[in-house]
Amino acid sequence: MNGLGGLNKSPNGVVIGLVQLQLPVVATPDDLAAQTARIVEMVGKARRNLGTMDLVVFPEYALHGLSMDTNPDIMCRMDGPEVAAFKKACIDNRIWGCFSIMEYNPDGNPWNTGLVIDDQGEVKLYYRKLHPWVPVEPWEPGDLGIPVIEGPKGCKLALIICHDGMFPEMARECAYKGAEIMLRTAGYTAPIRDSWRFTNQANAFQNLMVTANVCMCGSDGSFDSMGEGMIVNFDGQVIAHGTTGRADEIITAEVRPDLVREARIHWGVENNIYQFGHRGYVAVKGGAQDCPYTFMTDMVAGKYRLPWEDEVVHTDGTSCGFDAPTRVYGEKAHKDAAE
């Protein structure tokens, strides 16, 4: 059930709109201002499109396009005009919004940042992408973890970005911290279509969690993004899917966080988010609660290493035209950065 795309909204429903936004070309501050205005217009379209909509979600790269340009002149700041425009759009249209910015970082490369703003214009969720899509993306790895907030109508809401969703640990962390709905915004192009679909479904089913996922759409003359707005219920079933690749189409559905909560409490078979930490509870009281996973214990100990580590070919961004970095994680890019 998706309430006919949210037309028939239940008292416990949250209606989500996923904007398959036309892929832009943004190279100058004027381009950035024009694309900001375009996104604001689309917030208005979302509200006019469906009066029951609670949350409108824009893809990763909605503001900056896919150029991977780190020019400081077109990077955003949290107190800058772009974020201010998004806040006003949410207030004016009485709607929550999820937005993407490339954020200026005085200590290194820019962050790939996602924001959720409520209908009062307040930033409720602030997330920096943990897993940039290497070797293609130059963004600084995120350092804020994965926040989970109280979203529209009291739902527990998380946001991850694009490549993040290829790591099952990301969705598991969202669910472990209580998320009932996980947003995944992306700029992916057509070669990723199949893996996009099955990871969105797996992330939902493995965690008894709704996933709402959307990419940029259309061509910028170089790249072809695929749209693929996709809302998946907590049982892994797709309840809305933008399969036409039509730019600026808004894919909508009603989801039910109350049924997520019910399943997490009452399911026996396939309650995987609970059973992961309570292995074999039929045989032993409470289940085994150890950590039998070598990759987890090695990562915590700072010694994560693959058996084929020395044979990995791509270990920096040089194949995509970026200089090999010399700065280690946590080190400031400029000596005066702390002043």
What pLDDT, on the 0 to 100 scale, is given for residue 177?
98
| Dihedral angle over CA of 267, 277, 152, 243, nearest 10 | -70
* Residue 231: closest CA among 253, 208, 199, 262: 253
The secondary structure of the chain, three-state, reads CCHHHHCCCCCCCEEEEEECCECCECCCHHHHHHHHHHHHHHHHHHHHHCCCCCEEECCCCCCCECCCCCCHHHCECCCCHHHHHHHHHHHHHCCEEEEEEEECCCCCCCEEEEEEECCCCCEEEEEECCCCCCCCCCCECCCCCCCEEECHHHCEEEEEEHHHHHCHHHHHHHHHCCCCEEEEEECCEHHHHHHHHHHHHHHHHCCCCEEEEEECEEECCCCEEECCCEEECCCCCEEEECCCCCCCCEEEEEECHHHHHHHHHHCCCCCHHHHCCCECCCCCCCCECCCCCHHHHHHHCCCCCCCCHHHCCCCCCHHHCCCCCCCCCCCCCCCCCCC
d(Cα 101, Cα 114) in Å, to the nearest integer? 6
d(Cα 187, Cα 272) in Å, to the nearest integer? 30
* Residue 216: closest CA among 203, 229, 204: 229
Q: Catalytic site residue 162?
A: yes
Which residue has tokens 């899509």?
133
Taking the model in full, what pTM does it have?
0.96
Asked if the peptide bond before residue 110 counts as cis, ω within 30 degrees of 0, the response is no
Which of 82, 129, 137, 217 is the catalytic position? Answer: 129
What pLDDT, on the 0 to 100 scale, is given for residue 333?
81
What pLDDT, on the 0 to 100 scale, is given for residue 247?
96
| Cβ neighbours of 35 (radius 10 Å) | 21
Beta bridge mates, 22: 217
What pLDDT, on the 0 to 100 scale, is given for residue 84?
98
Record the tokens describing residue 134, joined without a space. 């290497």
Instruction: Please name the residues in contact with 284: beta carbons below 8 A apart, sequence gap of 6 or more.
Output: none
Separation of first and last alpha carbons in the chain: 55
Q: Catalytic site residue 98?
A: no
* Residue 228: closest CA among 253, 195, 196: 196
DSSP strand pairing (224-226 vs 217-219): antiparallel
Q: Please give the average pLDDT of every successive group of 10 residues along the chain, which has 339 residues.
A: 86 97 98 98 97 98 97 98 98 98 97 98 98 97 98 98 98 98 97 97 98 97 95 98 93 98 98 97 97 97 97 97 94 63
Which of 90, 98, 155, 162 is the catalytic position? Answer: 162
Instruction: Please name the residues in contact with 140: beta carbons below 8 A apart, sequence gap of 6 or more.
Output: 105, 108, 109, 110, 111, 128, 132
Which amino acid would we find at residue 270?
E
Residue 8 near residue 45 (C-beta atoms within 8 A) = no
Q: Where do the domains of the chain lie, and which CATH numbers do they carry?
A: 3-275 (3.60.110.10)
Compute the radius of gyration of the chain from its Cα atoms: 20
What are the pLDDT digits (tens) for 102-125? 999 999 999 999 999 999 999 999
Q: Catalytic site residue 60?
A: yes
